[in-house]
Structure 1
Amino acid sequence: MPTPSCTSTHVRDHTRKSVRRTPARRAAVPLATAAALLLCGPLTVAPAYAADQPGGSTDEVKPPAHMSTVGGKRLGRPGIQVDLKQGAPALPKGLSGKSWLVADAESGDVLASYNAHWQLPPASTLKMLFADTVLPKLPKTKTHKVELSDLEGMGEGSSLVGVKENYTYTVHDLWLGVFLRSGNDAVHVLSAMNGGVPATVRDMQAHAKYLNARDTHVVTPDGYDEKGQVSSAYDLTLFARSGLQKADFREYCSTATAQFPGTYTKDKKGEKNRSSFGIQNTNRLLTGYGVEHYKGIAGVKNGYTSHAGSTFTGVAQRGDRVLLVTVMNPQKAEANEVYKESAKLLDWGFEASGSVNPVGTLVRPGTAGASHPSADGKDSHKDTQASVSADNGSSNGLWTAAGIAGGSLALLGAAAFGVHRRWPLPELVRRRSRD
């Protein structure tokens, strides 16, 4: 059973009002505070902005009457959009997310949606865009000695993996901190390596535009609540789909546990050795902590802030079919509700595949994707099949179910291909699912 993380009462009780009063450029998190958080234990860095608290801001009770129609006219309409064929399973009951979407990851067909283009605070799911933007620029073996200035600007109560100034980390270490612990400290160090936070925000906004994620406005690279920072279930799904084209992205988002570099200690001979501590992915459908592990899950990213509520984008595979799901801000006041509703939608999507007409499509990047014909269940999808950008920004065609599995094949060996293709998970997770 995974070790639960400790979260301070101060962090849990952090209110939207205090977030709004906090200036956009904050002082660095005090070192004493960061040290105190690390004393909770190896898995105890506060997951304030990647946890599973129910609720969130309810300032806007209803979505706009008219939203973006990127991906199809029906996706711009408020309310549930689904086109069931005869004999198709009904949508799950009890869904409370303010916005959600289920799509076929390969064809790009949107199987069903609810307020798909409603612009809402994304919380740490915005880190998918951060990773998709910055990850290709920094070799995973590159090292960086952290300066105090690298950690400036983090919001109060930020989730931390435990990065320390004057310590050296590899890019690989930092990405594990981003994906597993949703560490805003790791995000800010990687941003510093990318030219700084303002430059990274500009890069992210430009990449969102290239992906035709027109609902997204980036203010911070880590997803922390800021005025005007919004995205949508549709855009978050685009970010996940694009990111999953990258082997490193697949590796990080599907990793359940890892070791993160700690401090230096001296052994009996007086030699310095660097310790490490365990970190665990905050995606509970992946780890099975507090909610049933979802068989076939392979990532992607969860988030939470007091303003955004809980957000989640996930990818799962059954047989040769791969589905993406995004749920934003469930209104049911129950722990882990975002995961429960995501699991229900995935179950429905796998059962309904082939028995529903698509209500839209995940568009391809670039100007061709932006000008696609509307996909509202009547248009041909031959020209709207959403190919995804390659690492160099060019399109390399549709990606396959095996592509998700490919990220970890080097670790498991070719002999595991048959099993790994069906369940694209780290060995630890697959082994637990059989217990």
Structure 2
Amino acid sequence: MRARVPAAVAAVLLVAGMPSPAGASVAPRAGSARAAVTPCPKLAVPKVTRPPRPTPPAAVPAQQAVGGEALATPGLVVPPDAPAPPVTATSWLVADLDTGAVLGGCGPHEYGTPASVQKLLLAATMLPKLNPKQVVTVTRPDLDIEPGSSAVGLLDGGRYSVETAWLGLLLQSGNDAANLLARLGAGSASAGVREMNAEARRLGAWQTHAVTPSGLDGPGQFTSAYDLALIARVCFADPTFRRYALTERTQIPAQPALRKPGFQIQNENQLIYRYPGALGGKTGFTDLARHTYVGAAERDGRRLVVTLLGAEARPVRGWEQGARLLDWGFGLPRDASVGRLVDPGELTAASPSAPPSTPAAAAPTTAGRAVGAPDWWGGAVVGGAAVLVGVLAVLLAVGRRRRRARRRVRRRVAWD
């Protein structure tokens, strides 16, 4: 017996044209008439770190149904008779880069912490805007990163090409390069983050909210395996990104004015060295996020992408779990599908409810704004207030001119 679809979900599916793929094996949420949920692995944080776990925003059913009803599950969803892949990531997704078909996933729309795979959202946002040959100067704020976090080694006052910054970002996961590229693309790192969030909305990545351009942990920063696949699909459509992602090593130029020599960096993504047909991707790790990964490969004219969140390096490292998922996906029939990746801009006119609101710790609240109200609501309030202030200013100016005119008339009468 087929479970009933909530009205909000059905409306979004109707507008976005996303029917549930026939026959998809899916474990639904509590209260469904279908079989019990096959759970995703639990994130086991080592006792030596025990970072505080972030509280994700409340789930919005319509957002979790983006891509198809079968994807609205916290558990495993795979095609009929397909084996469950042997991975330990708390959530993952495999999709076809060209057709957009989702081949399978586990908790595809569940909130997760991104770590450095968030740099792909920075690339999707800023790559089209920046000239790779432009030479730019690094400033002190560009180097304001968490001590001990990954960096390329850019120097305050150093001069580098934009292409060098991109290579430092994608090969060495440079947080200094992330700050620099966000500033170059938007005027400041904070403005760059705002543009990243706008790009996430355009792509339909409704579980994604960036707080830092690099993926360094910040309150209110989340994504999902599905959202990462949307972002990765845009990145791998760009030939410049593909070239950067497959670069094995590059030279960071010397800085004669600063009396510093150049040095070489290597690509940290082991997939490109060890997996036939690899197209590249991005690794990520923080104590909070644990291991995250995005990788893609091509086999027999078929290009697949894998995204995973909340993995541990034991017994299998993040990129190796990605390789296992790619093998699993390539082993499925070409027409296998449990959903699809929406196209950029597809959900702009028919947004699946409001995006997750930012917790108070991540951004100041707006007085009088309803909890969970969409971003445009706050914009309308601010815009209306601005118009009202402008009107009052005009009225006050007119009043002042009239009072001055009356005083001049009285003076002329007295003088005459």
Instruction: Please give the range of the TM-score, normalised by the shorter of the 2 chains.
Output: 0.5 to 0.7
Q: CA deviation at 1:315?
A: 0.8
1:76 to 58, 64, 72: 72
Q: CA deviation at 1:90?
A: 2.1
Change (3 A) 1:84 1:354: farther
Q: CA deviation at 1:192?
A: 2.1
Aligned to 2:272: 286
Q: Is contact 1:212-1:370 (8 Å) kept?
A: no
Q: CA deviation at 1:372?
A: 10
Q: Where do 1:38-53 residues align within 5 Å?
A: none
Q: Is contact 2:159-2:255 (8 Å) kept?
A: no
Aligned to 2:295: 314
| Residue identity matched to 1:341 | Q
Q: CA deviation at 1:348?
A: 1.1
Q: Where do 1:260-279 residues align within 5 Å?
A: 260-264=252-256, 275-279=261-265
Q: For 1:172 and 1:310, how far apart are their aligned partners in 2?
A: 27
The structure, 1 or 2, with the larger RCO (C-alpha pairs under 8 Å, 6+ apart) is: 1
% identical aligned pairs = 39
Structure 1 gaps of 5+ residues are 1-11, 21-56, 266-271, 288-292, 374-435
Q: For 2:307 and 2:128, how far apart are their aligned partners in 1?
A: 24
Q: Is contact 1:96-1:332 (8 Å) kept?
A: no
1:344 to 324, 327, 346: 324
Aligned to 1:125: 117
1:124 is paired with a residue whose SS is helix
Change (3 A) 1:367 1:346: closer
Aligned to 1:109: 101
| Residue identity matched to 1:318 | R
Aligned to 1:150: 142
Change (3 A) 1:301 1:331: closer
Q: CA deviation at 1:229?
A: 0.3
Q: CA deviation at 1:253?
A: 1.2
Change (3 A) 1:146 1:16: farther
1:137 is paired with a residue whose SS is coil
Q: CA deviation at 1:370?
A: 7.2
| Residue identity matched to 1:338 | G
1:327 is paired with a residue whose SS is strand
Q: Where do 1:188-337 residues align within 5 Å?
A: 188-194=179-185, 195-264=187-256, 275-287=261-273, 293-331=274-312, 333-334=314-315, 337=317
Pairwise CA RMSD: 2.8
Q: For 1:370 and 1:188, how far apart are their aligned partners in 2?
A: 32
Change (3 A) 1:254 1:14: farther
Q: Is contact 2:102-2:338 (8 Å) kept?
A: yes
Aligned to 1:269: none
| Residue identity matched to 2:205 | A
Q: Is contact 1:70-1:370 (8 Å) kept?
A: no
| Residue identity matched to 2:176 | D
- 1:334-385 alpha-carbon deviations (Å, 9 max, x no partner): 4x521221111111111113363x1110000114577599xxxxxxxxxxxx
Q: Is contact 2:204-2:347 (8 Å) kept?
A: no
| Residue identity matched to 1:348 | W
Q: Where do 1:366-377 residues align within 5 Å?
A: 366-367=345-346, 371=350
| Residue identity matched to 2:270 | R
Q: State the TM-score, normalizing by the size of structure 2.
A: 0.68
Aligned to 2:176: 185
Q: For 1:84 and 1:155, how far apart are their aligned partners in 2?
A: 46
Change (3 A) 1:15 1:353: same
| Residue identity matched to 1:180 | L
Larger Rg: 2
Q: Is contact 1:14-1:157 (8 Å) kept?
A: no
Q: CA deviation at 1:97?
A: 0.7
Q: CA deviation at 1:262?
A: 3.3
Q: CA deviation at 1:84?
A: 2.3
Q: For 2:222 and 2:329, how far apart are their aligned partners in 1?
A: 26
Aligned to 1:425: none
Change (3 A) 1:247 1:90: same
| Count of equivalent residues | 304
Q: CA deviation at 1:331?
A: 4.4
Q: For 2:181 and 2:313, how far apart are their aligned partners in 1?
A: 35
Q: Is contact 1:65-1:77 (8 Å) kept?
A: no
Q: For 1:156 and 1:103, how far apart are their aligned partners in 2?
A: 36
Aligned to 1:365: 344
Q: For 1:74 and 1:263, how far apart are their aligned partners in 2?
A: 54
Aligned to 1:401: none
